[in-house]
Structure 1
Amino acid sequence: MTDALDATMVNKLTLAADGLTTRWRPGYERDRGLKPHHPLNVLDFIGQNDDFLTLIDLPRTFIKVVDILGWHIQLYHRI
């Protein structure tokens, strides 16, 4: 999907994701043996920064999400 997010939103989400990485990766590396090249899987990330919440029902992408996932969409993880 072209231009689903404008540059400002991409920058905000990038900063939010980088913040999660900074917060969670050191503990995962120490406690779970996560290596630098491994992907970081943070559950409940959507509640850790309000910028992620805007993605849930973003008008430009919502109908595509419904097409892919169906109409009964639930947010299973939240803080």
Structure 2
Amino acid sequence: MRAEESSLRAEPILATATSRTGWAAGHLTTALAGTTVLMAGTGLGAGLAHGAKVGDMGQVGRVLTGALVQLPAV
């Protein structure tokens, strides 16, 4: 946030009725949602590839779960 304020990119946003907390929460939400979508997509793709290779599409859920379990570490 400090870099955004120092480079004056935050100035037009914070000059409106947006609070600093709301602005920061928006950035955090975007980062978390983006990471979740990427991890889910990667897990799904890997699960489909693994399921196709071993001939058991029931493995998709297992691999997807394995990818989503990593979210707290991200």
TM-score by length of 1: 0.39
Point out which structure has higher relative CO (alpha carbons under 8 A, 6+ apart). 1
Q: Which has the higher helix share?
A: 2
Larger radius of gyration: 2
TM-score by length of 2: 0.41
